[in-house]
A and B are shown apart, each in its own frame.
Chain A
Amino acid sequence: MGLQSLDFIIEEVITNLRRDRLISFATLGVVAVAICVLGGIILFLLNLRLLTEQVAKELKITVYLKRDVSRDRAKSLETEVAAWPRVSSARLITKEEGWEEFKKTHPVGERLEGFPIPWTDAVEVRTQTSADVPAIGEKLAALEEAKDLVPTPEEIGARTGVPQRIIRVRHWMNYGVLLLAGLMALAGFLIIHNTTRLSLFARRREISIMQQVGATPGFVAAPFLLEGAVHGFSGALLACCVLVPVHMYLRALAANSGWALLKLLPDDQLLPIAVALIASGTLLGVAGAWLSLRRFLSRDPEPEVR
């Protein structure tokens, strides 16, 4: 397709958008709402995942070893536990390190100078997800060398309950979101499909003349496809112009809330999401227009005669 053709196609698109201003704005609006809802849900889910990850990161199990466990055995235990499936890290905290840490953080720490170390060596274990904590906790408690577990197996259940519940809700929501995303995409697709149909109907005489004088099917279709793409792109762009600033505002609000765990996605991660939403909107527009065109153009001329 040469520059002349491109020139004609762009001119046709501009003319049509101007001529059917009201329909174009309605289409753009519906696409924008659909993409806005879709993007909003995606952002909510991503933030929820971030939150559960942060909560999970805070979860660690410290297994205190019996007094008779040698330092060598403690070191080998650290290596063994680190190699367990679903364990992300295991770190040996010697009784000296543990005692120093306790004195630093405890209000009466200074007064404990000179006391014999009441501590034992310990291994601090982190799991890959919060869902793994109870199982790993049980496994650690069952170790022959284990004296105490912090938190205790009973506490583990309580502490992992919240993230577990969030994860369960997230899993359930994933399906709901998929369904909603599908419905939103369908709404955008149908409105663009319908707009193209209206446009095709309004211009059927022009199209018929184009076909009569030898315009190729691609040439006839191109302005409509581009129009669909413009609707999809503009709608999605409009949606992103709402979503991104709103998210940035909420992020700032969360940062000032004083809740350390309430961290929203950083602003630089919004760009790829916005690009993906705009690309999806554009594709949706082209697909909706294509469906109308396929049905419209296939009517000429074959079905007239069998």
Chain B
Amino acid sequence: MIELRDVSAVYPNGTLALGEVNCKIEKGEFVFLVGPTGHGKSSLLKLIHRELIPSKGEVRVAGQDTKTLSPRQVAFLRRRVGMIFQDFRLLATRTLWENVAFALRVTGVSRRRIHRVVPDLLRRVHLSDKADAFPDQVSAGEQQRAAIARALVNSPAILLADEPTGNLDTDTGWGIMKLLADINLSGTTVICATHNRGIVQALRRRVITLSHGKIALDVPVGAIRPTASIRI
């Protein structure tokens, strides 16, 4: 599904984002990306989402080399690769319903289909009763759930999450992780960059540790033992 071959990415100021990264993520996997800030987690997600282009190597997503894609093809790739962020990135002037619908409208989906899909998605993320609320009228966790609903509008095969619990308290963070786990159970590949060791240990999924732009560790699913204090 996703393959990185000898991938290096260097920022214009000369900072190495990633250096000779090799990894393969199969369809339906749930992968955590962990590591200190600035060591390449977000850069790796951006490479998959084609917000960055590798300066060396090859990134293949669903069989396509992202480097060779035209801007139009990039748009179609992003419909199959949803992304959520630590800061939610919702439009403050639109309701949660409109925020989710916006993602459909900009891809040319009919109003009829929007009216069918959006309520379903809001129900899935438990936001049906907050559909008409604006982002600043709901909690951070609800905003993140709305962002997840927006990322799912095109039924993506891959969902990328960049520190999805970074701005949330522990309980709300667990709720979001549970939601991501449910989405993964329905067959969507989930790649989640996080600092939250507790969540990583509790969920016991594949963990890729990045250090100074390189993969320091790639621990397969189930290899991490849950600690006694963690619950999900």
Contacts and interface: CB of A to CB of B under 8 A. Distances in A.
A128 interface: no
Interface stretch (A67-75, A109-117, A165-173, A212-220): A212-220
A216 B75 contact: yes
A213 B155 CA distance: 11
Nearest to B107: A214
Q: Which label, helix, strand, loop or mixed, suits the secondary structure of the A interface?
A: helix
Nearest to A3: B110
A4 B101 CA distance: 13
Residue in A4, A5, A208, A220 whose Cβ sees the most chain B Cβ within 10 Å? A4
Given A4-B111, A211-B78, A305-B9, A218 B51 contact: no
Interface string A197-212: 0000000011011111
Interface in A274-306: 297, 300-306
Contact of B72 (A8, A212, A216, A303): A216
Contact of A301 (B17, B51, B110): B51
Contact of A214 (B11, B78, B91): B78
B125 to A, nearest CB: 16
Interface string A145-169: 0000000000000000000000000
A214 B76 contact: yes
Interface residues of B, number: 37
A301 B103 CA distance: 19
Contact of B91 (A206, A218, A219, A306): A206
B106 A205 contact: no
B63 interface: no
Nearest to B110: A4
A305 B89 contact: no
Contacts of A217: 71-72, 75
B145 to A, nearest CB: 16
A260 interface: no
A305 B19 CA distance: 13
A296 to B, nearest CB: 13
A215 B107 CA distance: 5
Interface residues of A, number: 29
B89 A209 contact: yes
B87 to A, nearest CB: 11
A305 B108 CA distance: 30
Contacts of A205: 89, 91
Contacts of B83: 212
Nearest to A220: B106
Contacts of A216: 71-72, 75-76
A191 B79 CA distance: 35
Nearest to B111: A4
B75 A214 contact: yes
A5 B79 CA distance: 16
B105 interface: yes
Interface in B117-162: 150-151, 153-154
A21 to B, nearest CB: 16
A212 B78 contact: yes
Contacts of B150: 213
A22 B90 CA distance: 26
Interface in B67-111: 71-72, 75-79, 82-83, 89, 91, 102-103, 105-111
Nearest to B43: A305
Given A301-B50, A305-B52, A306-B10, A213 B154 contact: yes
Interface string A1-29: 11011011000000000000000000000
Contacts of B153: 213
Contacts of B79: 213-214
Interface string B1-39: 000000001111000010000000000000000000000
A290 B140 CA distance: 38
Nearest to A216: B75
A4 B106 contact: no
A109 to B, nearest CB: 84
B106 A8 contact: yes
A306 B106 contact: no
List the 9 closest A-B pairs by CB distance, nearest first: A214-B79, A215-B106, A214-B78, A213-B103, A301-B51, A216-B75, A5-B108, A217-B71, A210-B106
Given A216-B75, A305-B11, 4 more contacts: A5-B108, A7-B111, A206-B91, A306-B10
Interface of A: 1-2, 4-5, 7-8, 205-206, 208-220, 297, 300-306
18 contacts: A4-B108, A4-B109, A8-B106, A209-B89, A209-B102, A209-B103, A210-B106, A211-B75, A211-B78, A213-B78, A213-B79, A213-B82, A213-B151, A214-B79, A305-B10, A305-B53, A306-B10, A306-B12
